[in-house]
């Protein structure tokens, strides 16, 4: 059998490092040209695919070294290799002296090297230029709020008055009035509906803001149906019957981009929302770029800024995005760079993405680009938790900080806030602890991550090719059969398999073949969520998912995890919240030295902690600790000094020795905000 020793491997990896530096130098130029040049677009897609494969090889090597360390096999230091891996794939201290690659790995390395050679050759043929300028990536953060801030909504006073008049107008019709607001994406239809909805002068007994298909009935009510697309008349008739109990003075506002929806659903002529006036658009742009309402204190930027505002075409979302690019920047040359970008000359039909949004993406630093592109797996109108998204970013290795390896989550919050400040994220109107993305922003994420991210709706088309897909998510059906996931066998390099359940009050069913055959075959998985399914057990083969970092089994009926889970050496997050049937954790969980988040809230049948839980010194989140007489003595908490948030301590009466409580060192854990 053919093997490679550590010297040969190190030589090959050094070659990769040198070649990747040459590629990195032209990435900005390639990303800008991809919108208009199909060949550059294909080159970037191939490069992205290759980069994933490179990372998987390196990660596999690092995992093997970690496994051998746990088996107490000596590993001699190799500073050159350690330095190389810190450059290539983050904070992985790797030594190759004890590792030999078998024939399969040798073949993968040789194939990857050949692909990298071809990528370099194509780079030269495409005449991609090295960028000498450095875009300033830092932006001044602005506070976010869950509700619309009327003081910062410009140019919609007359629109608001007109809508209030429509709502208050007397009608002879005995039916509930339906008032559509129609306009293109990014105009601010939702914002106008928020302004009207929150107006204190409206005299409704009941108000509700709902998404399509959610039912509400009442007295005199005002209901807002936001972002309606459904053009099926029968569905609308059935849905509307839910409101027939309301008195005639009740009103329904719908926001939509579709004239067909407006004609079908409206009982009054639609209110056509127009673009902002130039002055109002300038107001929005200045607020986001300068935290001012005009250029009076920045005259050196006035002429350039006014020209940029004209590019916004009266769209508030475009003004916000461009203002976010230039926020905190006072160098006129940077403003001129935005104004003179070739992106403005690209026809809209090339990508259907607003030029302002394309520019906003191009001006993101590379670490934010990958975080943003990953968000293409989020459905439109999906409310997401910032902490959950950060854990998924961490699982992908997006949050590596060479100097502060143990502060990955803090870095994630910093990245999230930067994207929030640039208007890529916005707080939900329904739940201030959740966030959403504007439809056009999700369209942008899908464009820049195409062939890499897949949001599955229904069943995948068997005729399509899914070989390059690395991240996939889906909304579970009440009964998910194997046929829905059959195409996933083609996704051999899939990294993210994410169930996004809408509700946790009922369990969905999932074909056992998906759990026992498909999932174990997805060897490159880093994030796996089977949340919300009626899953009772998992196969031992789960332990072979050596790259797995995020594992969510929340709100399942799992009773216990397979012992092979102790082989998941890279695991950072294990979520078992709401697993009411769970009776024990794997005894070998203490081997998971990279575990940072262990969520076992609402696991009422869990009776004790596994032995040596105190060895998991990387833990930042441990939602519950069950005090035991042998396993789970409270002294196990002594070394868990990085714990944060709430910690529920169960069965404190089992602490029989007062010295044990002292050894637990609870008072010296500043990150914990509350003990219960």
Strand 434-436 versus strand 384-385 pairing type: antiparallel
What's the confidence (pLDDT) of residue 557? 96
- Mapped to the 3 state alphabet, what secondary structure does 301-338 carry? HHHHHHHHHHHCCCCHHHHHHHHHHHCCCCCHHHHHHH
pTM of this prediction?
A: 0.76
Nearest to 545 by CA among 92, 59, 110: 59
The per-residue DSSP string of 221-260 comes to EEEEE-S-----HHHHHHHHGGGTTS-TT-EEEEEES-HH
Task: Classify residue 674 by burial, with Cβ atoms within 10 Å: 0-12, 13-18, 19+.
Answer: exposed
Give me the sheet containing 434-436, strands edge to edge.
384-385, 434-436, 426-427
Contact 625, 601 (CB under 8 A): no
Angle at the Cα of 178 (from 173 to 182), degrees rounded to 5?
140
Distance CA 327, CA 330 (A): 8
Per residue, the 3-state secondary structure of 13-24, as one string, reads: HHHHHHHHHHHH
Q: What is the distance between the alpha carbons of residues 494 and 455, in angstroms, rounded to a whole number?
A: 13
- What is the residue extent of each domain of the chain? 6-125, 156-272, 290-436, 439-675
Question: Which class does domain 439-675 fall in?
Answer: alpha beta
The residue ranges of DSSP E strands in 559-669, in sequence order, are 573-575, 597-599, 621-622, 624-626, 645-650
Residue 189 φ then ψ, to 5°:
-60, -45
The closest alpha carbon to 105, from 63, 61, 167, belongs to 61
Answer left, alpha or beta for residue 513, where phi above 0 means left and psi between -120 and 50 means alpha: alpha
Q: What is the CATH T-level fold of the domain 156-272, as seen in this structure?
A: Rossmann fold (3.40.50)
pLDDT value for 255: 87
With a CB cutoff of 8 Å and minimum separation 6, the contacts of 25 are 130, 131
Half-sphere exposure (Cβ direction) of 271: Cα atoms closer than 13 Å:
26
Per-position b or e across 312-321, b if 16+ CB within 10 A of its CB: bbbbbbbbbb
Alpha carbon dihedral 54, 57, 58, 60, in 10-degree steps, equals 150
C-alpha–C-alpha distance, residues 91 and 94, integer Å: 9
Q: How far apart are CA 574 and CA 592, in angstroms?
A: 10
Flag residues of the chain having pLDDT under 70: 1-10, 71-102, 131-152, 171-175, 205-206, 208-219, 241-242, 244-247, 346-352, 401-407, 461-463, 632, 658, 660-665, 670, 674
- Residue 523 and residue 252: Cα distance in Å, rounded? 50
Same fold, 156-272 and 439-675: no
3-class DSSP assignment, residue 621: strand
Look at residue 86 in the predicted model and tell me its pLDDT.
Answer: 40
CA distances from 219 to 193, 194, 225 (A): 21, 21, 17
Q: Is 174 exposed, middle or buried (0-12, 13-18, 19+ CB in 10 A)?
A: exposed
Predicted local confidence at residue 73, as pLDDT: 47
């Amino acid at each position: 059998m053919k093997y490679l020793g550590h010297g040969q491997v190190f030589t090959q990896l050094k070659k990769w490092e040198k070649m990747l530096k040459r590629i990195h130098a032209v990435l900005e130029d390639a990303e800008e040209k991809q919108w208009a040049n199909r060949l550059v677009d294909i080159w970037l897609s191939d490069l992205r695919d290759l980069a994933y494969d490179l990372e998987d090889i390196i990660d596999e090597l690092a995992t093997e070294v970690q496994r051998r360390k746990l088996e107490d096999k000596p590993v001699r230091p190799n500073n050159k290799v350690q330095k190389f891996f810190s450059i290539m794939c983050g904070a992985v201290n790797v030594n190759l002296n004890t590792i030999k690659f078998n024939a399969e790995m040798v073949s993968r390395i040789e194939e990857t090297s050949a692909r990298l050679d071809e990528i370099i050759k194509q780079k030269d043929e495409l005449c991609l230029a090295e960028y000498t300028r450095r875009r300033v990536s830092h932006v001044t953060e602005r506070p976010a709020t869950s509700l619309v801030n009327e003081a910062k909504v410009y140019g919609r006073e007359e629109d608001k008055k007109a809508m209030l008049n429509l709502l208050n107008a007397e009608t002879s019709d005995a039916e509930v009035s339906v008032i559509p607001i129609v306009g293109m994406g990014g105009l601010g239809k939702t914002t106008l509906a928020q302004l009207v909805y929150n107006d204190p002068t409206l005299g409704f007994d009941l108000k509700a803001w709902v998404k399509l298909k959610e039912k509400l009935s009442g007295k005199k009510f005002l209901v807002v149906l936001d972002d309606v697309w459904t053009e099926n008349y029968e569905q609308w008739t059935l849905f509307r019957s839910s409101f027939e109990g309301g008195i005639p003075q009740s009103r329904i506002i719908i926001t939509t981009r579709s004239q067909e929806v407006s004609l079908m659903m409206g009982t009054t002529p639609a209110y056509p929302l127009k673009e902002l006036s130039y002055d109002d658009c300038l107001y929005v742009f200045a607020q986001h770029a300068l935290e001012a309402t005009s250029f009076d204190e920045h005259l050196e930027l006035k002429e350039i800024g006014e020209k940029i505002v004209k590019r916004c075409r009266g769209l508030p979302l475009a003004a916000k995005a461009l203002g976010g690019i230039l926020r905190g920047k006072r160098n006129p040359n940077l403003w001129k760079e935005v104004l003179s970008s070739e992106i403005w000359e690209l026809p809209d039909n090339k990508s259907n993405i607003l030029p302002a949004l394309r520019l906003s993406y191009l001006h993101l630093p590379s670490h934010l680009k990958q975080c943003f592109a990953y968000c293409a797996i989020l459905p439109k109108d999906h409310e997401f938790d910032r902490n959950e998204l950060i854990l998924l970013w961490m699982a992908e290795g997006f949050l590596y900080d060479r100097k502060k390896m143990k502060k990955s989550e803090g870095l994630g919050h910093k990245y999230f806030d930067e994207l929030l400040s640039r208007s890529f994220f916005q707080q939900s109107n329904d739940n201030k602890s959740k966030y959403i993305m504007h439809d056009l922003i999700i369209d942008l994420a899908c464009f820049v991550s195409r062939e890499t991210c897949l949001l599955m709706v229904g069943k995948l088309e068997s005729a399509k090719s899914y070989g390059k897909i690395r991240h996939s998510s889906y909304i579970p059906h009440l009964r998910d059969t194997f046929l829905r996931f059959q195409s996933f066998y083609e996704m051999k390099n899939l990294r993210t398999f994410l169930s996004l359940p809408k509700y946790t009050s009922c369990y969905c069913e999932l074909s056992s073949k998906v759990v026992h055959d498909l999932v174990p075959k997805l060897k490159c998985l880093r994030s796996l969520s089977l949340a919300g399914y009626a899953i009772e057990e998992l196969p031992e083969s789960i332990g072979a998912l050596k790259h797995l970092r995020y594992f969510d089994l929340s709100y399942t009926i799992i009773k216990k995890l397979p012992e092979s889970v102790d082989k998941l050496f890279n695991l950072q997050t294990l979520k078992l919240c709401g697993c009411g049937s769970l009776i024990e954790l794997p005894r070998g969980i203490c081997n998971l030295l990279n575990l940072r988040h262990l969520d076992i809230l609402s696991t009422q049948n869990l009776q004790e902690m596994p032995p040596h839980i105190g060895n998991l010194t990387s833990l930042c989140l441990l939602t519950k600790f069950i005090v035991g007489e042998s396993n789970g003595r409270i002294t196990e908490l002594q070394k868990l000094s990085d714990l944060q948030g709430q910690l529920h301590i169960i069965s404190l009466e089992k602490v029989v020795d007062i010295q044990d409580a002292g050894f637990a060192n609870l008072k010296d854990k500043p990150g914990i905000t509350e003990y219960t």
